[in-house]
Structure 1
């Protein structure tokens, strides 16, 4: 069936097995689910949720007025604009509404800081917000019973000096300012919304020249250069968050026993944790936090995570076992304010069981900075990691990742930390069932090890080499003797320059978050807003 016009092209029956029942893909309330543009199952606007389209349209009008009240210039984008221009309706296979506001800023640091301020303002107005980057947030809305009903995306759009219009996470293309403003109008039913002055030009950039033709199964494909630019300018605060939410979605799923040797090693050495406060990073469902609390009931144990799925389970467990929970997103520089936000005023310890090896390098860098803070406070820090990948390693499954001990030592050294590596013995699987898909115990020898951190003699790394110096060094290298060598050298140079460019772009986000933190902390008359997500439960 064509979801755009409702035309049915074929119908036939497929049997998965001999069971005499019809298969239905539905949620717990029986509402049909479909695969959305992200390749995930979700409720669509045209599937069994009475009145949701009108609720979304009304809420879209409300959010637009709220953003105007904040001095911003909102307009509809994405699938909402596409549906309005092409059909005068919401897309039946979509699952949200999309709003952007046109920033007056052109510098990415200013754009990011404005995005963070806007998020604070919406939170202070009572909206439930999940932030994906400094330029993209989602507002969640619930049913009267408290269950998720729908959400609305809010993006930042802005022009850069090169004449390109940008709307993270996907849109970047050449657009004249008079094609953007003054805004035109686009109608969905009786609702009229602001839209780009030339909505067709915007839709070509957002999709392609074929946007007028509905394409079943269409998926957005963001160019790699655009993805890298936006991720480094504004961050990717949600990296693999959906994976961890799905991982913990089934409360009856068996425990992942590849984490158990590391957990047990930390518990066996818990007497080395001498501070009155223990902060666990990447705590998941709170299993380790509960054991540490049981071992020393007077100690304050805080289990932190950035995904709402495991955090919900940990919060329920903590209410019974006596430990606290906290939302800490280490993909944000703001995470470094967590000790102060949590009221930690003296020495504190950090533990991390298979967190440093199952997280992206940007979050790991902030985790190591927190380790440095713990050590400088007079506390200690230990972690456990896999030294070898799983046999079925995949980028989309962090549980298959690893971090070799020499890589951990190298990254720690750059931040003024030393690492003592201790191999951890792993018991062999007891039965063949222990390695089944339902209970993946030891898929391979993962070379699990423990790490004790210390402050090195040099508390901070030496000053980094400037981009100019690096360029000079690169181009002064000996001239290659063959075309193959020339290509190899040029490839290496391009890769190194791309890495350096990424770091310089990340400075925009670092500056924005520091500006935001300073403003939140030091503006008289306002209560500090940490900027952390109020994640949907």
Structure 2
């Protein structure tokens, strides 16, 4: 083992443990396995305190690779000074002499990017590999120009060009941007969709992130299919708003007329004074390399961008996307007792809408019983596998994205589903207790629109802490307050069942109820 004086560390299957010297300044370090940099983190900012030390847990994408032996080193990113190094064995390898390899199936080295994804980083690519990407950037910039906007390289691509004339080694993708001539968000969105249609007519496949950001897919000369992100922006009241992180005081002359900067020997368009945009993106310290940089968007900017272009994503990125990513292949995809209970009560139902359908197990159950079932969820990855499976089996099941924390999504979805044939039923299992007050109000609004006074809404909520812990993302709510909210919406609770378990009678009859089921209907 070798180490710089004053820095003690050890590495195990959980992660990296570091004892920092008293009074030391926070700094980014590179994590190097057998001479290969696989990621970076700040010694304090990105770690947590544990037993008097700082602890950095292995990111999930990296864990599956950490089986075997490696020389693990922590290297000061700024000075390249090795702060700690040790030969360790991680995981439970059959052969303790096998070396850890962090690479893809073709043997290409991988590293953690700024989003903690394992990717092929620019530092591990030769000029031969970068030429197809540069060709793609030039092609897409020309396509955007012909579509009517003056696009330029943005974010990490712009930072690398201005700071060092090339791609940043710890980056993995290329970003483009443009600033619209319009000043109203509605006009900016209309222009973005017009631009998308023009690109599709040119033959480019496009997928959309939001009302002002999309990805263009390009087939490169080496056969690689690459997606280039295009972030739109506009100036309003002296502020530049650029998807997805920027809301900063700005002058028009800092953008136009566009200039150029060299990126790996190619002259590419950049804003007239690119340093102002880099300050808006990365702060005044943008000239100092930070391999573990994290965007910290001000709350006001986030609210505006969400409201104008993205919509709200309450708990989706923090809770639901990771949850359903973990559920993939777990086998936890069986119909609930709740849907079986509803089915027994609603034998005549022709159509059903499952709000917060998750993996779609209850939707599949209803479809197998001949019910025209629609699943709604605002985490698309939750139902993606079931959607494909049911489509192959030609069952009467469809899935839609919907967001109960947005009135506009609720109204559009409710209007569309109100046309489904009846008799109808709406199910919402652990939705009212997994959303906020706006979400509960919109859940009732949606159900009322869908049912049109000719069916019932079935709710299941947590009324007290569940034995063994609450379901992920769910919290107990005041059922009496929910009943009052139903009545305020014009509905009536026609039945209420307080349960001590998912299946009535499945637990000790004397146990304290912690589940509540409500049956709601509205007048015609």
- How many angstroms does 1:198 deviate by? 0.4
CA contact (8 A) 1:37 1:218 kept: yes
| Higher helix content, 1 or 2 | 1
Say how many residue pairs are matched.
431
2:466 counterpart of 1:399: no
Give SS of 2:82's match. Answer: coil
> How far, CA to CA, are the matches of 2:135 and 2:284 in structure 1?
30
Q: Show the counterpart of 2:188.
A: 111
> How far, CA to CA, are the matches of 1:29 and 1:447 in structure 2?
52
Q: Show the counterpart of 2:23.
A: none
Q: 2:354 aligns with which of 268, 273, 280?
A: 280
2:188 counterpart of 1:134: no
> How far, CA to CA, are the matches of 1:68 and 1:354 in structure 2?
48
2:451 counterpart of 1:375: yes
> How far, CA to CA, are the matches of 2:153 and 2:350 in structure 1?
51
Q: Show the counterpart of 2:345.
A: 269
> How far, CA to CA, are the matches of 2:380 and 2:252 in structure 1?
40
> How far, CA to CA, are the matches of 2:491 and 2:202 in structure 1?
42
2:132 counterpart of 1:58: no
- How many angstroms does 1:109 deviate by? 3.7
Q: 1:229 to 1:303 in 2, by over 3 A?
A: closer
| Higher strand content, 1 or 2 | 2
CA contact (8 A) 1:393 1:400 kept: no
Give SS of 1:385's match. Answer: strand
> How far, CA to CA, are the matches of 2:345 and 2:322 in structure 1?
31
CA contact (8 A) 1:392 1:400 kept: no
> How far, CA to CA, are the matches of 2:286 and 2:199 in structure 1?
32
> How far, CA to CA, are the matches of 2:314 and 2:250 in structure 1?
30
The higher-RCO structure (CA 8 Å, 6+ apart) is 1
2:397 counterpart of 1:324: yes
> How far, CA to CA, are the matches of 1:170 and 1:445 in structure 2?
48
2:161 counterpart of 1:84: yes
Q: Show the counterpart of 1:461.
A: none
CA contact (8 A) 1:416 1:455 kept: yes
- How many angstroms does 1:166 deviate by? 1.4
Q: 1:60 to 1:372 in 2, by over 3 A?
A: farther
Matches within 5 A, 1:230-249: 230-236=305-311, 240-242=315-317, 244-249=320-325
Q: 1:100 to 1:143 in 2, by over 3 A?
A: closer
Q: Show the counterpart of 2:33.
A: none
2:416 counterpart of 1:349: no
> How far, CA to CA, are the matches of 1:120 and 1:361 in structure 2?
38
- How many angstroms does 1:287 deviate by? 1.0
Q: Show the counterpart of 2:234.
A: 158
Q: 1:185 to 1:339 in 2, by over 3 A?
A: same
Q: Show the counterpart of 1:535.
A: none
> How far, CA to CA, are the matches of 2:106 and 2:438 in structure 1?
39
Q: Show the counterpart of 1:75.
A: 152
Q: 1:126 to 1:280 in 2, by over 3 A?
A: farther
Deviations 1:151-201 (A, max 9, x none): 33222211112x121113321222221111111112322443321110011
- TM-score relative to the length of structure 1: 0.67
CA contact (8 A) 2:170 2:291 kept: no
Deviations 1:286-310 (A, max 9, x none): 211122123x32x322334444433
Deviations 1:109-168 (A, max 9, x none): 433444455456556766555544323334456899x9x96433222211112x121113
- How many angstroms does 1:29 deviate by? 6.6
Deviations 1:21-73 (A, max 9, x none): 544555677665544334x3331433778977444433333333333333223
| Structure with bigger gyration radius | 2
Give SS of 1:285's match. Answer: coil
Deviations 1:350-374 (A, max 9, x none): 2233334334666655543321211
- TM-score relative to the length of structure 2: 0.68
Q: Show the counterpart of 1:499.
A: none
Give SS of 2:177's match. Answer: strand
Q: Show the counterpart of 1:206.
A: 281
- How many angstroms does 1:202 deviate by? 1.0
- Root mean square deviation of aligned Cα: 4.1
Q: 1:247 to 1:124 in 2, by over 3 A?
A: farther
Q: Show the counterpart of 1:98.
A: 175
- How many angstroms does 1:82 deviate by? 0.6
Give SS of 1:399's match. Answer: coil
- How many angstroms does 1:314 deviate by? 0.8
Q: Show the counterpart of 2:367.
A: 293
Q: 1:454 to 1:287 in 2, by over 3 A?
A: same
CA contact (8 A) 1:286 1:317 kept: no
